[in-house]
């Protein structure tokens, strides 16, 4: 009985570690503008993000086009520890990410130069083909913004 209990506890621990070590957000994701919703309006025409594993976190490279036609070329590398990491090429300067599980993570995005501050929650579907990110906060002027962005795995 003792051996069975020990085996079950060890098996549960290994399973839990595997679940939290997995990251189903990795890969290339393209924004589906038709399924996404933006308030007050869409700040982008297109986005494609590539997410790669990086030393306990993720390296993200995002390309696309802003609503005014200017190109987007943003990137960051961050761990899932809730600490702020620098971002280049985005409307925010830092990102802090925490992973709840292999399919869900939250992020806080801030711009030190103005009032841009949002909180995002991303959830990957069970089939791994869709990632939905809800984002709420304030733009650089302090006005409220709200996005529901639906990405499809490429």
Question: What is the reported pLDDT for 28?
Answer: 98
Query: In this structure, are residues 16 and 136 in contact, taking their beta carbons and an 8 Å threshold?
Result: no
Instruction: Give the distance, in angstroms, between the CA of residue 50 and the centroid of all CA atoms in the same chain.
Output: 11
Q: How far apart are CA 131 and CA 113, in angstroms?
A: 30
Tens place of pLDDT per residue across the chain (154 aa): 443 333 333 333 333 333 345 899 999 999 999 999 999 999 999 999 999 999 989 999 999 999 999 999 999 999 999 999 999 999 899 999 999 999 999 999 999 888 899 999 999 999 999 999 999 999 989 999 999 999 999 9
Q: How far apart are CA 52 and CA 131, in angstroms?
A: 15
Question: What is the reported pLDDT for 123?
Answer: 98
Structure tokens at 104: 């869900």
Question: What is the reported pLDDT for 74?
Answer: 97
pLDDT digits (tens, 9 = 90+) for 86-128: 999 998 999 999 999 999 999 999 998 888 999 999 999 999 9
Question: What is the reported pLDDT for 114?
Answer: 85
Question: What is the reported pLDDT for 97?
Answer: 97
Question: What is the reported pLDDT for 136?
Answer: 97
**CATH node for 24-153:** 2.40.128.20
Query: In this structure, are residues 51 and 27 in contact, taking their beta carbons and an 8 Å threshold?
Result: yes
Query: In this structure, are residues 36 and 149 in contact, taking their beta carbons and an 8 Å threshold?
Result: yes
Q: How far apart are CA 141 and CA 91, in angstroms?
A: 12
Phi and psi dihedrals of 43, rounded to 5? -80, -5
CB atoms within 10 A of CB 15: 10
Q: Quick one: which H or E segment has residue 18?
A: helix 2-21
Query: In this structure, are residues 97 and 104 in contact, taking their beta carbons and an 8 Å threshold?
Result: no
């Amino acid at each position: 009985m003792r051996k069975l209990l020990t085996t079950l506890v060890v098996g549960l621990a290994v399973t839990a570690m595997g679940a939290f070590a997995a990251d189903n957000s990795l890969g290339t994701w393209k924004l589906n503008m038709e399924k996404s919703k933006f308030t007050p309006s869409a700040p982008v025409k297109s986005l494609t993000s590539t997410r790669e594993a990086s030393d306990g976190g993720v390296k993200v490279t995002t390309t696309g086009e802003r609503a005014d036609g200017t190109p987007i070329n943003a990137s960051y590398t961050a761990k899932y520890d809730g600490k702020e990491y620098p971002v280049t090429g985005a409307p925010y300067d830092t990102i802090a990410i925490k992973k709840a599980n292999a399919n869900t993570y939250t992020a806080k995005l801030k711009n030190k130069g103005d009032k841009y501050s949002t909180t995002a929650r991303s959830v990957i579907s069970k089939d791994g083909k869709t990632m939905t990110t809800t984002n709420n906060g304030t733009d650089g002027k302090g006005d409220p913004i709200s996005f529901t962005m639906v990405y499809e795995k490429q």
